[in-house]
Amino acid sequence: MLIGGGPIFQRIGEAVDAARHSIWLTIAFYTDNFCFPDGRGSLFDALDRAVARGVDVRVVVWRPNPEVARRPNMFIGSSADRDLLGKRGSRIKIRWDRTVGVFCQHQKSWVIDAGQPLQSAFVGGANLGAPSFEFHNVYLEVEGPAVTDVHHNFVQRWNEASEREKEDGSWNCDAAEVLPFPVQASGRRGSSIVQIQRMLQGGLYRDGRPTPGGNAFDVAQGERSVLEQYERAIDAAKRTIYLENQAIPVMSVAGPLVRALERGVDVVLLAPAKPEDYVYAARHDPNQRPRFEGIDALGRYPNFLFAGIAKQDGESRHPVYVHSKHMVVDNAWATIGSCNLHAFSLAGHSEMNASIWDEEVVRDFRRRLFALHLGLDVAHLDDRAAVQLYCRVAQENRAKMEAGDTNWQGNVFALSPERYGLT
């Protein structure tokens, strides 16, 4: 697990520079102010260097439909984008890919040396922009058979990218160029059980051939395995659930969380203390009331904590934007990826998560997160005691904030579910 934009992109940058055969990535959002740490330069600096040493570099980038408002962090293949690539003399292979309506190709995956004995992948939710170094983000580096699923996903998207046959839908590649699907799973690496899940709209990709070692799956009907795993993992929880997410949960996730609270599970949700503008607008719009039914329902239970984080800046504190998307259950299971808990990710965006069954790895992940947010080592505590300490510190820091005291323990503080988005 990689926590924080600096460590995430330092490690990915190292992997890019070490690649010997291929670098394949999917991009949702990109801005030209992104640079890798340690002087590795921009995204295109690193990728062009790889091409120069003979590495096969391919990128699948989301192209929004006309009904989606344009934003500065979209690399849509415009004339300006193509001019940038042309001036660089870039030999990267790029295809642009749409999804349905207002939805987004939201995956942010990397596959390094696909199909090789030591192939690896990165699965997470950080965007390629300077703000990702300020936001709270989490990524997972994967080796072993699970990488073959990420490899398969990239091939599927590359081969059927929606814009591949359009004049402006690709860069440095022919529309007829097809990648072969992996025919053998990567060798075992380590002891963790890891599974890749996706959210995909039906009708985007025709190929339904199975991942090696798996059963035939008709992806033409779509896939909802990220949501299915959230629901099943929450229903299986016995003691604790710890979530970090950019969005407050819709009822398809909040409903199972309410059931968990009712059977005595302690639940913590860390979200942006200062959400995006659309959340404020929705909170003041009576027609958008359903957006908040989930958080309002959760807020009625004493064993639920809703929290944010704020960093010390001189004599004041400023909210840190929570952009991570993961859940930890009972110190036994975790999921990390690009999937938010709002209606867009759970009903239309293309997403990718990786789930891990490994008590030692998951416990260490939760311990590292709590050490970051509490400023305390909780290695000596079990999951329930650690979560209860987290709740106590968050409530104490909230009281300090209201009293104008910035001398907190750690950076976490309690939020009010019923007031979220109002002020």
pLDDT in tens, the chain (423 residues): 999 999 999 999 999 999 999 999 999 999 999 999 999 999 999 999 999 999 999 999 999 999 999 999 999 999 999 999 999 999 999 999 999 999 999 999 999 999 999 999 999 999 999 999 999 999 999 999 999 999 999 999 999 999 999 999 999 999 999 999 999 899 999 999 999 999 999 989 876 555 555 544 567 789 999 999 999 999 999 999 999 999 999 999 999 999 999 999 999 999 999 999 999 999 999 999 999 999 999 999 999 999 999 999 988 999 999 999 999 999 999 999 999 999 999 999 999 999 999 999 999 999 999 999 999 999 999 999 999 999 999 999 999 999 999 999 999 999 999 999 997
Q: Residue 142 carries which DSSP code? A: E
Separation between Cα atoms, residue 301 and residue 259, nearest integer Å? 11
CB atoms within 10 A of CB 52: 10
Contact assessment for residue 229 and residue 199, using Cβ atoms and an 8 Å cutoff: no
CB atoms within 10 A of CB 207: 13
Separation between Cα atoms, residue 109 and residue 351, nearest integer Å? 10
Per-residue tokens: 159 = 């081969």
Helix (H, G, I), strand (E, B) or coil at 118: coil
Beta strands in 229-303 (DSSP E): 240-244, 266-270
Checking phi first, is residue 89 left (phi over 0); if not, alpha (psi -120 to 50) or beta? left
Separation between Cα atoms, residue 397 and residue 309, nearest integer Å? 10
Give residue 216's pLDDT. Answer: 47
Separation between Cα atoms, residue 374 and residue 8, nearest integer Å? 21
Beta-bridged to residue 269, according to DSSP, are: 243, 306
By the 10 Å C-beta count (0-12 exposed, 13-18 middle, 19+ buried), 394 is classed as buried
pTM of the model: 0.95
Give residue 133's pLDDT. Answer: 98
Separation between Cα atoms, residue 393 and residue 386, nearest integer Å? 11
Per-residue tokens: 86 = 């042309």
Task: Identify the helix (H) or strand (E) that includes residue 151.
Answer: helix 146-159
Which residues, including other chains, have CB under 8 Å from residue 134's CB and lie 6 or more apart?
A: 5, 320, 321
Please name which of 45, 43, 2, 6 lies closest in space to residue 25, comparing C-alpha atoms: 43
Separation between Cα atoms, residue 183 and residue 209, nearest integer Å? 11
Beta-bridged to residue 195, according to DSSP, are: 355
Helix (H, G, I), strand (E, B) or coil at 320: strand
Cα angle 401, 403, 407 (rounded to 5 degrees) comes to: 55
Q: Please report the DSSP string for 160-228 in residue order.
A: T-TTTTSTTSEESS-TT--PPPP-SPPPP-SS-EEEEEEEE-TTS----PPPTTS----GGG-EEHHHH
By the 10 Å C-beta count (0-12 exposed, 13-18 middle, 19+ buried), 364 is classed as middle
Please name which of 112, 109, 377, 419 lies closest in space to residue 284, comparing C-alpha atoms: 419
Per-residue tokens: 191 = 């002891």
Which residues, including other chains, have CB under 8 Å from residue 22's CB and lie 6 or more apart?
A: 55, 56, 57, 58, 111, 112, 113, 114, 115, 116
CA distances from 366 to 1, 8, 168, 335, 382 (A): 10, 17, 45, 12, 11
Please name which of 148, 105, 140 lies closest in space to residue 123, comparing C-alpha atoms: 140
Separation between Cα atoms, residue 252 and residue 346, nearest integer Å? 9
